[in-house]
Amino acid sequence: MMESSLGISDSQCLATVRGHELRNGQKEPRLLSLLECSGQFKLDILANPEAIVLSPVPQLSIPINNHFQIVREAEEALLIDISINTTVRVRLQGEQTPELLLELQDDVHTQSFLQHVTKAKQQAEKKSSQPRKMEPVVPVPVKDCIPVPPQRGTSKSTSNKINNSTLVKPPNTDSGLSMTTDFGFEEKKNQQNRIVAQREPPPPPLPPLPPRKGTYTPSNNLTAGPTTKERPPSAQNSKSVRNELQSVTPSNYTMRQAMMSSHTGSREGLLKYRLNKKEKEYVDIKNFRFFIGTWNVNGQSPDSSLKPWLCCDPDPPDVYALGFQELDLSTEAFFYMDSSKEQLWVDAVERSLHHKARYKQIRIIRLVGMMLVVYVNEEHQHHIREVASESVGTGLMNKMGNKGGVAVRFVFHNTSFCFVNSHLAAHVDDYERRNQDYKDICARMSFHLLEYPPLSIVKHDVVIWLGDLNYRLCFPDAGEVKKLIASKELRKLQEYDQLNIQRNTKRAFTDFMEGEINFWPTYKYDAKSDRWDSSGKCRVPAWCDRILWRGSSVKQLHYRSHMELKTSDHKPVSSLFSIGVKMVIEQRYKKVFEEIVRDMDRLENDFLPSLSLTQREFTFENVKFRQLQRRSFLITNDGQVACTFAFIPKLNDSQYCKPWLRAEPSEGVLDPNEAMEIFLEVYVSKDSVMLLNSGVDKIEDILVLHLDRGKDYFITIAGNYLPSCFGTSLETLCRMKKPIREIPITKLIDLGEDSCIEKEKCRINFLLYNDGTEDKPLRIPKEVWLLVNHLYTKACQQEDLFQTPGLQDDLQNIIDCLDTSIPESIPGSNHSVAEALLIFLEALPEPVLCYELYQRCLECSHDSRLCKQLISQLPRAHRNVFRYLMAFLRELLKHSIDNNLNANLLASLFASLLIRPPPNLAGKQTQHDRQKTNDFILGFLMGGDED
């Protein structure tokens, strides 16, 4: 429990606790503070717990009086998203405030806080029934303490003083209201993979997560490290402009420290870390059976029983993890719409699970055509905790989910598992694109669990990777391949297998293992048959569908295909594993727990933590848009006691760094004499490029590395940024006759100011300026013309244009080319140029259809005449670009037989880029709104030429 004052007016803070408000399956962080002022109690709630650093003013203050109610909800056992820690749910309601449902950790800290609140309510009730001369009894703050080792059975609250009476709602109060709406905050987009349901009571011990630390070893293998990619949402939402570091006074430092690292929280984290280090002293290994299956179903619906695949062993598995690809090939599914086929396949699966056991679904996740569903034998359901899921699209612009991966992770007993189902890039020669997809998934797949830092794929004890990996055979003669298969010379063929070659050359899946393949290639067959592909393309057979793993105590019992199933042009594959799971022995755990607590008490009384850093100043030269730069330094614990560190926000900041910067890891624990490598990454995405282009922001920042119970270390970041036409407004670009890198930054700022004036003069004659006057703007930016002209002259008949992603190297070359020159031709493949055009449109600070006209766009989407009138009211540059793009897209549709494009697909893709909701509405755009924007674009694609 925190005993410091929060500095809110003259109030004294008696207790604080962190928690989450629950609303429609979403969890929003909250900070609850019990304060006393002149004998009056109130409960202050901060909608953003970190806001205390910026301004210690609560967004909601509930007086504790006769109208104040706090009710603890009965516990409810759900299997989905079971946590390692039990939680307690309470409902709060004040005299004139909406009812709030909050979830708090069920630990001694929360118990103490609830007891304080209950006592405060009792004091308030006494005051209302007795003369005012009575002085309120202020509860004594409970000092920090370590939780007693949890006991077996469902955890129940020890606080029986909370009022369990039914809440009486005030008149005209909507109980559905939450702090999100009452405080005027934007409602966050509901993300399936962030939803955390009610939690199942965990087994006795706390199974520590795999440590985010380790003795320093040079980081040569960065396979799973960051690649050129967009920042995660947590970084993208950071503030773009920062104030300089201010001096830290004792009072406001206490306030920051209370929010960023409560002593109780850091002590519990250190305790978990040490328990993990001594795990071998209190665990035994027991083997469990895991059935892993993968099938590319080619957009088909189930037409037969799946028992030949899922029920092919005499004994039932303990866990099923089943991955599907190409579940739905429709255009609607391609753009993240719901798929009716999901439930058809789930039903087929559940009818075919092993009949000798009963199973519970613990998580299902789908991204377009990729689906992963995990079942556990109901005998083990209470030993499953911390279930989370995540998805990563590696299709066009790293967003489209036709390719990518979905994953589910959880802790079973004391072992963490991660299952990844992926569908990588197609086509025989695109193995480099498949490698890139794999690296992107590794870098961008991150699981977010409450009270824990983000977990990557590799931060798990066991990882099993399954799916249509699409690696082919480097053997062009299909006839010869079929002869070798018929003569059972599979090992010879596997020498030409692209996945084996990439693994052996350490380009992909380097740390994964795969069992021996003794089954025929699983692709490609004629539908409903066992015949090899007899189409005109006559594809070479290949082992596209694979199952790999990494981790200890993993033994593969079977690896096979299932030829009986003929629904798809792929055959399903399965693998049965025997995996050693760490089982906690309670008595040994309790002994280790108590020893650690005694040792921590002794060390904390005798020593203070200390760190040494090998470097504190870093310079990043020539930073470019979408080009990652990395630096690293070592931190070493040179003290006598383990230390907990974390990068924390500076005063007046809500994030510890600017949006283009990241430190990895951003927090951790070090034992004495232990070292850790910290990576600093600079990456300018679409969210930070505009301010850097305009000179409002610079490559300058100061990181604060905070040591719990110790001092702060300051790390200086400096560098220079090279402006890009990507992220520059259309008006500014129209005034640039030269490449942007040839224009001084002061001139760029002037051009930006001029473009704001130009935007107001939107009713200008739509004519190309040919009078040679230097200050007359271009009709459209030269960069747009160069990209579109390349595609118009060279790519109209390109197969799967605007559906296949480009290569990262190509994209960077295209960006550099447009920033530094006016090229005669654009480098890179047609797919790369197409993606570069989309990235350009996405990075525009103001979309082609301006924010101010967004609502009118929705209103007139049904009427083509009104749509054309709206376009005529756009600023000149925006109007010209819109008409130019529509003319180009109509031309592409004339070649739809070759490029596989259709009007609906183009409308969906370009509507999301050309018609973006204003920032304050971005999280509130409904599916109906998106359909209206699609209809708006569709009207121009299906209509005639513009006047």
In tens, the pLDDT along 475-499 reads 889 999 999 999 999 999 999 999 9
pLDDT at 221 over 80: no
pLDDT at 201 over 70: no
Which of 27-41, 227-241, 588-602 shows the lowest mean pLDDT across its residues? Answer: 227-241
Strand order of the β-sheet with 370-377 is: 359-367, 370-377, 319-325, 283-296, 573-584, 554-561
pLDDT (0 to 100) of residue 241: 32
In tens, the pLDDT along 616-642 reads 999 999 999 999 999 999 999 999 988
pLDDT at 461 over 90: yes
pLDDT (0 to 100) of residue 449: 83
pLDDT (0 to 100) of residue 746: 65
Between 181 and 260, name the one with better pLDDT. 260
pLDDT at 174 over 80: no
pLDDT (0 to 100) of residue 74: 54
pLDDT (0 to 100) of residue 755: 52
pLDDT at 606 over 90: no
Which pTM value belongs to this model?
Answer: 0.67
pLDDT at 28 over 60: yes
Between 188 and 60, name the one with better pLDDT. 60
Query: Is residue 869 very low, low, confident or very high in pLDDT (cuts 50, 70, 90)?
Result: very high
In tens, the pLDDT along 424-446 reads 999 899 999 999 999 999 999 99
pLDDT mean across residues, the chain: 80
* Angstrom distance (rounded) from CA 262 to CA 1: 8
Burial class for 617, CB neighbours closer than 10 Å (0-12, 13-18, 19+) = exposed
DSSP state at residue 166: P
Q: Which of 242, 228, 236 is nearest to 699 (CA)?
A: 242
pLDDT at 297 over 80: yes
Share of the chain above pLDDT 90, in %: 55
pLDDT at 289 over 90: yes
Which residue blocks in 767-853 are alpha helix, DSSP H?
Answer: 782-794, 808-820, 830-843
Burial class for 505, CB neighbours closer than 10 Å (0-12, 13-18, 19+) = exposed
pLDDT (0 to 100) of residue 92: 82
pLDDT (0 to 100) of residue 12: 74
The predicted model gives 753-772 an average pLDDT of 43
pLDDT (0 to 100) of residue 453: 76
The predicted model gives 375-380 an average pLDDT of 97
Which of 275-279, 377-381, 605-609, 860-864 shows the lowest mean pLDDT across its residues? Answer: 605-609
pLDDT (0 to 100) of residue 266: 67
Task: Give yes or no for a contact between 615 and 633, defined as CB atoms under 8 angstroms apart.
Answer: yes
The predicted model gives 846-872 an average pLDDT of 94
pLDDT (0 to 100) of residue 922: 77
* Angstrom distance (rounded) from CA 380 to CA 350: 18
In tens, the pLDDT along 127-168 reads 766 544 333 333 333 334 333 333 333 333 333 333 333 333
Q: Which is it for strands 611-613 and 573-584: parallel, antiparallel or unpaired?
A: unpaired
Between 912 and 172, name the one with better pLDDT. 912
Query: Is residue 228 very low, low, confident or very high in pLDDT (cuts 50, 70, 90)?
Result: very low
pLDDT at 375 over 90: yes
Q: Which of 612, 603, 604 is nearest to 705 (CA)?
A: 612
Task: Give yes or no for a contact between 49 and 654, defined as CB atoms under 8 angstroms apart.
Answer: no
pLDDT at 564 over 90: yes
pLDDT (0 to 100) of residue 412: 97
In tens, the pLDDT along 330-347 reads 766 665 556 778 999 999
